[in-house]
Chains A and B, each alone.
Chain A
Amino acid sequence: MSFGPHLLLATLEGLVTSAVLALTALGLSLVFGVMRVVNVAHGEFFMLGAVLAWWIASLATGHPAVGFLLALVVSPLIVGAVALVAERLVLRRLDYNPEATIVATIGMLYIIQQLALTFYGPEARPVEAPFSYRILLPWFGYSGYKLSVIAFSAILLLATWFVLTRTKIGLVMRATQYDRETAQAFGIPVGRVYAGVFALGAMLAAIAAVLIVPIQQAHYLMGLDPLLLSFIVVIIGGLGSLRGTVVAAVLIGLSDGIISVFFSPTLAKIIATLIVAMVLVFRPQGLFGTAAR
């Protein structure tokens, strides 16, 4: 294959990574933005979404699309419920103290991971893609499912943007983010907003995971990479900035795809980490973040 088509393939692969990463990082960014909680267990919500997707899909019979669609709906709901319980039982009792919640979410990380190992086991298992249509380009055939992942993520990101900027729910979330005390003085039940945001953040990670299991397999240790990359994306894009999160996810996803194809995956990680260091030194609030007030 010559350079042009090779680059196109790398770009497509990078865009798939970007799409899934943008959803995962958005969840992390929302939780930090609104609640000021650094959720170290975010990657485990991703893993839980993937493992549950396998379990749900394995229960369904008939066409693979049935199992997949069922997983796409049910798995995020279960993960959201788990996050809601964790928020009520743990984070709220710590009064959302920044240091304490970091330690607590590290604990949640290990609990979720070990539960997955106990009940799901150490194997990596795939979920069958809902359709196996291949788009034939002049140089190579490309999975139609992967393209649909990009499209579906884009739609979800747009929907999140719409909810945040154009609806009352979004207004309430933003008011809580900017000034918790004043929000309460205007009748906003901050505790309930926090619970909702934490569940929503986990559900975004779970959706991203369901989308990725037909491409990568579900495994109990699969949460680490998305967690690391999400932190990288959120730091580069600026915490709490939706636009920054999307731009940084595309940047990191594409560079990861292209550099991995032409050089090595390790070099891609090195460069991503280097970008983070540069951003932290020269623009600590991130590319699109606003300086702390």
Chain B
Amino acid sequence: MTGALTISGLDCFYGEVQVLHGLNLDLRKGEVLCLLGRNGAGKTTTLKAIMGLVPARSGSIMLDGHDLTKLAVHEVPKAGVAYVPQGRRLFAEMTVAENIEIGLMTRNKGSQTRESVLELFPLLRDRLRQRSGTLSGGEQQMLAMARALCLEPEVLLLDEPTEGLMPSMIARIRETVTKLRARGVSTILVEQRVDAVLSVADRVSFIENGRNRETVGVGRLRKDPAFVQRYVGVG
């Protein structure tokens, strides 16, 4: 399998504080790679660094032979990386249709993309004129994913998409991730809880103190829960 996205030796800082220490990560084409780790380990920062929202001081992020760290921030999504931020970050004052429109404008996609995205989230079709801030949490999450999929991305970044949702919604979000995997979208998924991951991910990277400690297949993780205990266990 070839790599969809390769991060090597990434250093990132918030002001003077170093958050990522030479992080390496390798996303394969068509897989779901999950980043697991405790609060403050650097999972969200890794995603923000890929988007260029946190500048990389050194290291590289290669997509299709291009180094994303060399691009202007707004060029990164145009290169084919779509981002579903933590807390969804919809344009809350805008309607559902306008949020989708912004997604479509990113890479000049047209009505065909719009249709295929709405097919994935039929619920949104009835809400197009509604202000997105008034949607329920689960619906907002779907819209955030729909907006990102309007880019027809090569790589999709999902930051805690199931956070704060009720179980039936969590199940639907997982279903969607599985569907996208079947379509060949390579996904990096950030999660806090291991049980949210086992059913959808191919491999899991354990992030600790801004480093990728270990990347293991889900099969191995199921057999040997000691990994989880070591990197995300309490106490």
Contacts and interface: CB of A to CB of B under 8 A. Distances in A.
Contacts of A186: 77, 102-103, 105-106, 147, 151
B83 A185 contact: yes
Interface in A159-179: 168, 171-172, 174-175, 178-179
A179 B107 contact: no
B102 A175 contact: yes
B91 A187 contact: no
Interface in B70-127: 72-78, 83, 85, 89, 91-94, 98, 101-103, 105-107
Interface residues of B, number: 26
Nearest to B75: A187
A178 B98 CA distance: 13
Interface in A12-51: none
B51 A185 contact: yes
A107 B52 CA distance: 33
Given A171-B98, A188-B74, A189-B72, A179 B105 contact: no
A174 B93 contact: yes
A182 B52 CA distance: 11
Interface residues on A, range: 10 to 19
Nearest to B93: A178
Given A187-B78, A188-B74, A182 B91 contact: yes
Contacts of B91: 174-175, 178-179, 182
B182 interface: no
B53 interface: yes
Contacts of B73: 184, 190
Interface in A183-210: 183-190
B94 A187 contact: no
Contacts of A168: 101, 105
Interface core residue of B76, B78, B91 (most chain A CB under 10 Å): B91
Nearest to A293: B92
A154 to B, nearest CB: 25
Contacts of B51: 184-185
Interface of A: 168, 171-172, 174-175, 178-179, 181-190, 290, 293
